[in-house]
Amino acid sequence: MILTALNDYYRRKMADPDPARRLPAFGFEDKEIPFVIELGSDGSLAAIKDTRSGDGKKKTAARFLVPKGVKKTSGIAANLLWDTAEYAVGVDTKDKPERVVQQHAAFRARIDALPDAAQADAGIVALRRFLDDQPQRALAADPLWEEIRSANPVVSFRLAEDSDLICQRPAIVESASQVTNQEADVTESMCLVTGSRHEAERLHTAIKGVWGAQTSGANIVSFNLDAFNSYGKSQGANAPVGKHAAFAYTTALNHLLAKGSAQRIQVGDASTVFWAQQQDEVEDVFAQFFGETDDPDARTVQVKALLEAVDTGKFDGGRGEKRFYVLGLAPNAARIAVRFWHAAPLRSIASRVAAWFSDLEVGRGPNDPEYPSLFRLLTAISVQGKADNIPPNLGGDVMRSILAGTPFPAMWLNAAVQRCRAEQRVTYLRAAAIKACLNRSIRRNDNEKEFAPMLDPSNTNTAYRLGRLFAALEKIQEEASPGLNATIRDRYYGAASTTPVTVFTSLLRLKNAHLKKLNPGRTVWFEKLLAEVLGEVADFPAHLMLPDQGRFALGYYHQRQSFFTKHTDEHPNTSEGK
C-alpha cells in the first residue's frame, strides 16, 4: 500500500505541467552539484564554476538532474558523468593513490560503456580529450582547485557554451536508462507494486533525509543477510519490485524528505511526509498544522482557513473523496522503520485535524499561540523542555491518534502530569495536552462531562474542584502577602495533586490568617468562592490516580486563568481577580 501510493504520487508529479515541480525521469535523480567544470569544445579547461549560495557552512549547492547514482558501499563504483573529485578527475585527497587510480578508471569505464550515439556527442568528445590530457595540471591554475583538493566535493562537467551539464545533453539522456537496464543483475517476476511482470530491482535506492538514520541513506525494502532470504532467493528477489516501480517510489520518497520540502515535518523521532492522491492545496499547508513555522501569524491564518473549510462543507463532494496519505519514518539501524501510516479521504483528515485543535483549546495568555504546534506540545512535557528528551515513539503515537480520531496515548498524559508535578507549574501547553487527553478518553467511555476550554463551575468532579481550591488558596496568599518569592504552589503542589488529604487541612487553616489581611469586601468574595468550590467535595481523597491528577492540574489552570479574565457577571468564580 505504501509503495503503491508513492508510485502513484511519482506518476502524478511526472505529469505535472510545471517543469519546476516535475520529478526526474527514469534513470535520473535530482542532485546537489557544488562545482561544475566547464570545458571548451576542444577539451580545454574554461573555468570551474561554484554553484553554491549562502554563507559559511550553510552554503547550498545548485541542484541538477543527473544520471541516477549507483549504490556505493566500501567497494569502487562510479556514477555516470558526475561523482566526487577523486572519481571524476583522479585527484588524491586521502593519501590513497592506488585506490584513486582505480576510482578514476571506473569513472572512465562508465563513459566508455555509453553507446555509439552518445560517444559521438560533442560533450563526450570534449570530456574525453580533457581527461586524456592530465586534467589536474589544468585545474591547478584555478583558485577553486585547492578547496576541491581538500574537500573532495561532487563535481560534474558541461561545455562552456551550454547551460546544461554534459550528462543532460539529449544523446546522454536517451542512453542513460538503457545503461541502467543493462548493468542491473535482475530477474523477471511479478512486481508487487504494479502487478505486472517486470525485471525485479536487486538493490533499491537508499532513502535519505530520515532524521537519525545513516547520512548515506537507509532502505525500507532490503535483504542483506541470509536469514532474511527464502526459497533460495536473494536480495530484492525476496520482495520483487520492478525497476521502474522501485525507481518511482524511491524518487518520490526522497523528494518528499528532501531538505526544504514543504511536505515533511518532524514529529518526535518520526520524519513525517504527506501527499494527496490528486493535487490539493492541503499538501502545501498541512505542515503548518503540526510543525514549526517562521511566521506564526501565517500559520494561524492557515489553521483558521481549514476550520472554516470544514465548517462550511468545502471538503464535501469530489474534493473530500481524494485520498490523503501520511507516512512517519524512523531510523532502525541500516533500515527505516515505518512508525505510522495513515490513508483516508481528505474530508476525514480535515475533520480530524479540526477536532485536534478543538481538543487543545484552553484559556491562554496574550503571548500564548492560539494553535500550538505538535513539536511545542511534545517539548513542553519533556525534561528541561528539550526535544532530545521527548519519550521515544510518543510523537508517532500522538500523530496516529490525531489522524485516526482515537484516544491519545496514556504516556502523553502521564508525561504532562509528571512535568507539572516536577516543576510545580501548570503551563498553557501542558494544560492543553491534559485537556485533549482527558476529553478523548471521556468521549470514548462516555462516563462524565467533557472539559470546557475555560473554567466550568458546573463541573463537580472532585479532583477538578480540588485543583480549583488550590488555585484559590494560592491567590488568597498572594493578595495577603504581595511580592512573595514562593507560594504554596512551590511547596505543596506535588502533594496536593497526589495525596490531597495530607495538605489541604493545613492549607485551609493557613488561609484564615491570610484572609484577615484583606479588606472585608475581598474577604467575603473569597469566602463565597471557597464555599462554592467545596460545596461538591465530600471529603479529601487519600490518593489521586493519574487521570485525576490531570483533572486537578486542569482545575488549577482554569481557576488561575479565571482570576485574570474580565467578566460581566457577579458570580464569585468569574469576577475579575486583583
Instruction: Lowest mean pLDDT of 104-113, 226-235, 408-417, 537-546, name the range.
Output: 226-235
Encode burial over 296-306: b for 16+ CB neighbours within 10 A, e otherwise.
Answer: eeebeebbeeb
pTM: 0.79
How high is the pLDDT of residue 155? 96
Confidence check: pLDDT of 575 > 50: no
The tally of CA atoms less than 13 A away on the side-chain side of residue 354 is 17
Confidence check: pLDDT of 569 > 70: no
Helical residues (DSSP H) of 75-169, grouped into ranges: 85-89, 97-112, 116-119, 122-132, 135-139, 145-151
pLDDT digit string, tens, across residues 11-22: 999 888 887 788
pLDDT digit string, tens, across residues 384-421: 988 889 988 899 999 999 999 999 999 999 999 999 99
Neighbours of 52 (CB within 10 A): 15
* Structural domain spans, the chain: 1-15+184-261, 33-183, 262-446, 454-578
Where is 66: in which H helix or E strand? strand 63-67
Q: In degrees, to the nearest 5, what angle opens at C-alpha 555 toward C-alphas 483 and 421?
A: 70
Helical residues (DSSP H) of 405-487, grouped into ranges: 410-423, 428-445, 462-480
Contact 507, 495 (CB under 8 A): no
The confidence band for 576, taking pLDDT boundaries of 50, 70 and 90, is very low
Nearest to 470 by CA among 541, 575, 557: 557
How high is the pLDDT of residue 213? 87
> Which residues pair with residue 270 across a beta bridge?
267
pLDDT digit string, tens, across residues 435-486: 999 999 999 887 788 999 999 999 999 999 999 999 999 999 999 999 888 8
pLDDT digit string, tens, across residues 43-77: 999 999 999 998 877 788 999 999 988 877 778 99
Neighbours of 527 (CB within 10 A): 14
Quote the cell numbers at residue 529: 468562592
Where is 398: in which H helix or E strand? helix 394-404
How high is the pLDDT of residue 522? 94
How high is the pLDDT of residue 319? 86
